[in-house]
């Protein structure tokens, strides 16, 4: 049996940065809030709740500094926080911020703004705000087919797949005279997806670690499914079932951008421990 961990797996730059900012803020203020869970990983959220970072759903309830998570927030959220005269720590990932700026720029320049992504994802909900909620969110070629206009401007949710984004862009190009495209897919996502694909191709079984509510982890799972028949999405080592493996399996491990390295180690050690490799 051989176990390989994907070359690019686990915490990305933006998540690592947000976690560091949360640690520093907890040290300084003892109690802080994050507007929504700090990352899409229930174990990390629970761990941070014990340290002093509470999840907040409504800004009006805040009575301590607020940490804006890596997914970002729409402009009116900043105004609300300022109106309440509460301190905030902005951990919006710089790559997400860049996509927000492009959405604003395209909107102000008169483009029909199209956001490729999941309309329920907090990052996309925030992007919409930068186009005054007049942008179109599409998640497939079929949805892109319904959009037409003289000037179309496109951005993507940072964690989407580049292949699907390219297909949507190609479709939109048929319905407009002018198409402006900002490829806002972050290379952490691309790198994780590419490494997962390469590993899935040469593995008998793939273990994908990350929150079940994490869009980028679910995407890694989908990619692995295309190249490997036995793929399992788990959040912790406790979900591993020994019956999944046979003696000669080549096992690949990958993890979403919100999965801490200690969780990858625990999963690896649990499999190694079981088989005494």
Residues with a catalytic annotation lie at 123
Taking the C-alpha atoms of residue 264 and residue 207, their distance in angstroms, rounded to an integer, is 10
Beta strands at 136-138 and 112-116: parallel, antiparallel or unpaired:
parallel
| Footprint (CB under 6 A) of ligand SF4, residues 169-198 | 186, 188-189
Rule CB under 6 A: choose which of 139, 156, 158, 193 binds ligand SF4.
158
Residue 185 structure tokens: 């897919």
Q: 14 or 260, CB closer to ligand SF4? A: 14
Q: What is the DSSP letter of 229?
A: S
Q: Does 220 bind ligand SF4 (CB under 6 A)?
A: no
Q: Does 38 bind ligand SF4 (CB under 6 A)?
A: no
Q: 186 or 209, CB closer to ligand SF4? A: 186
Residue whose CB is nearest to ligand SF4 in the complex, by number: 14
Rule CB under 6 A: choose which of 48, 88, 95, 221 binds ligand SF4.
95
| Footprint (CB under 6 A) of ligand SF4, residues 50-69 | none
Give the phi and the psi of residue 132 in degrees, each rounded to 5: 50, 35
The residue count for binding ligand SF4 (CB under 6 A) is: 14
Q: 19 or 168, CB closer to ligand SF4? A: 19
Q: Does 34 bind ligand SF4 (CB under 6 A)?
A: no
Contacts of 88 (CB under 8 A, 6+ apart): 65, 66, 67, 68, 78, 81
Query: Helix (H, G, I), strand (E, B), or coil: what is residue 66?
Result: strand
Q: Number of C-alpha atoms within 13 angstroms, CB side, residue 54?
A: 13
Taking the C-alpha atoms of residue 169 and residue 175, their distance in angstroms, rounded to an integer, is 10
Task: Name the residues that contact ligand SF4, by CB under 6 A.
Answer: 12-15, 70, 93, 95-96, 158-159, 186, 188-189, 257
């Amino acid at each position: 049996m051989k176990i390989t961990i994907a070359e690019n797996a686990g915490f990305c730059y933006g998540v690592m940065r947000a976690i560091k900012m949360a640690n520093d803020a907890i040290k300084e203020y003892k109690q802080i809030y994050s507007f929504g869970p700090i990352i899409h990983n229930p174990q990390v959220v629970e761990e941070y709740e014990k340290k002093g970072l509470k999840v907040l759903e409504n800004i009006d309830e805040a009575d301590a500094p607020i940490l804006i998570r890596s997914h970002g927030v729409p402009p009116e959220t900043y105004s609300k926080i300022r109106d309440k005269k509460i301190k905030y720590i902005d951990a919006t990932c710089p790559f997400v911020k860049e996509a927000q700026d492009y959405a604003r720029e395209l909107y102000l320049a008169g483009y029909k703004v199209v956001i490729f992504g999941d309309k329920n994802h907090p990052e996309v909900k925030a992007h919409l705000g930068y186009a005054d909620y007049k942008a179109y969110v599409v998640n497939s070629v079929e949805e892109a087919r319904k959009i037409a206009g003289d000037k179309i401007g496109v951005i993507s949710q940072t964690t989407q797949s580049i292949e699907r984004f390219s297909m949507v862009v190609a479709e939109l190009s048929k319905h407009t005279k002018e198409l402006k495209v900002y490829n806002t897919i972050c290379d952490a996502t691309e790198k994780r997806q590419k490494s997962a694909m390469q590993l899935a191709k040469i593995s008998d079984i793939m273990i994908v670690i990350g929150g079940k509510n994490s869009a980028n982890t679910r995407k890694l799972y989908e990619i692995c499914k295309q190249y490997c028949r036995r793929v399992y999405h788990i959040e912790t080592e406790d979900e591993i079932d020994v019956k999944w493996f046979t003696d000669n399996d080549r096992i690949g491990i990958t993890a979403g951008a919100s999965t801490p390295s200690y969780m990858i180690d625990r999963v690896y050690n649990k499999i190694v421990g079981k088989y005494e490799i």
